[in-house]
């Protein structure tokens, strides 16, 4: 009996040691799972989801100037709590619009729709928009750690309508996704996204 307990103890120690030594590889894989970045040629409409207007707006402006997008659509009905403390009622969609204009995207190529408070709500709106206009191919821009969930929600919804969705990843400007564990914001972002993955798994 003592011999079995001793063997089990050694086995457990070895397993924990292996996990500790390989922790960075595990951390990297956790980030890689969440990130999707499709190749894209050209789409008439790109939709920038609400949240993190700086990074998402910058990425959309960059691809617009590369000739990847015809028009850029800003979504989002939420308001930033930080801005609320200053008495500013600007919506997330409006913040994205401001960032696009700063990035040199002409105002005539920016569409503003202050709708959607979640990924699912935004996907429903975009689908209706595409069906009304007969659009068959779009791009969706979001933060890197959000893109897996965007792919899951949008592609599941749009495939049945024959609409091709390309998901575009906007890297964070405050942390490196490949080394997320070295930054508090990266840690929070990854943790939040895995919790939302779980929530969406059961709800949708």
pLDDT at 134: 96
Q: Is the pLDDT of residue 158 over 60?
A: yes
> Quick one: 89 and 30 in the same domain?
no
> Quick one: 29 and 50 in the same domain?
no
Q: Is the pLDDT of residue 67 over 60?
A: yes
Both tokens of residue 83? 């801005």
> Quick one: 141 and 190 in the same domain?
yes
> Quick one: 68 and 57 in the same domain?
yes
Looking at per-residue pLDDT, the higher value among 8 and 155 belongs to 155
> Quick one: 16 and 77 in the same domain?
no
> Quick one: 111 and 16 in the same domain?
no
pLDDT at 81: 81
Instruction: Tally Cβ neighbours within 10 Å of residue 94.
Output: 16
Give the pLDDT mean for 56-63: 98
pLDDT at 23: 63
Nearest CA to 93 out of 56, 147, 146 is that of 56
pLDDT in tens, 6-47: 444 544 554 544 455 456 788 999 999 999 999 999 999 999
pLDDT at 22: 55
- CATH number, domain with residue 135: 3.40.50.620
* Domain ranges, residue 8: 1-34
> Quick one: 46 and 27 in the same domain?
no
Q: How many domains does the chain have?
A: 2
> Quick one: 16 and 114 in the same domain?
no
> Quick one: 63 and 92 in the same domain?
yes
Rounded distance between C-alpha atoms, residue 49 and residue 25, angstroms: 30
Give the pLDDT mean for 174-195: 96
Q: Is the pLDDT of residue 204 over 80?
A: no
Q: Is the pLDDT of residue 141 over 60?
A: yes
> Quick one: 71 and 140 in the same domain?
yes
Looking at per-residue pLDDT, the higher value among 148 and 18 belongs to 148
Give the pLDDT mean for 137-153: 97
Instruction: Tally Cβ neighbours within 10 Å of residue 24.
Output: 10
> Quick one: 75 and 10 in the same domain?
no
pTM of the model: 0.87
Q: Is 188 helix (H, G, I), strand (E, B) or coil?
A: helix
CB under 8 Å to 150, separation ≥6 — which residues?
A: 36, 49, 119, 140, 142, 167
> Quick one: 87 and 142 in the same domain?
yes
Instruction: Tally Cβ neighbours within 10 Å of residue 129.
Output: 18
Give the pLDDT mean for 95-116: 97
């Amino acid at each position: 009996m003592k011999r079995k307990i001793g063997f089990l103890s050694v086995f457990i120690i070895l397993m924990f040691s292996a996990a500790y030594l390989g922790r960075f590889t595990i951390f990297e894989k956790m980030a890689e799972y969440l990130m999707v970045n499709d190749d894209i040629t050209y789409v008439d409409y790109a939709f920038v989801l609400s949240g993190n207007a700086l990074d998402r707006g910058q990425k959309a402006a960059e691809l617009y100037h590369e000739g990847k997008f015809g028009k850029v659509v800003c979504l989002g009905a939420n308001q930033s709590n930080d801005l609320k403390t200053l008495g500013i009622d600007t919506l997330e969609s409006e913040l994205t619009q401001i960032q696009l204009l700063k990035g040199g995207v002409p105002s005539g190529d920016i569409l503003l729709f202050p709708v959607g408070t979640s990924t699912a709500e935004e996907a429903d709106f975009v689908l209706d928009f595409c069906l009304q206009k007969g659009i068959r191919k779009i791009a969706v821009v979001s933060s890197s750690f959000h893109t897996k969930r965007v792919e899951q929600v949008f592609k599941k919804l749009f495939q049945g309508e024959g609409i091709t969705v390309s998901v575009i990843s906007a890297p964070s400007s405050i942390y490196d996704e490949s080394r997320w564990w070295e930054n508090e914001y990266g840690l929070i972002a990854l943790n939040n996204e895995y919790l939302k993955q779980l929530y969406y798994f059961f709800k949708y």
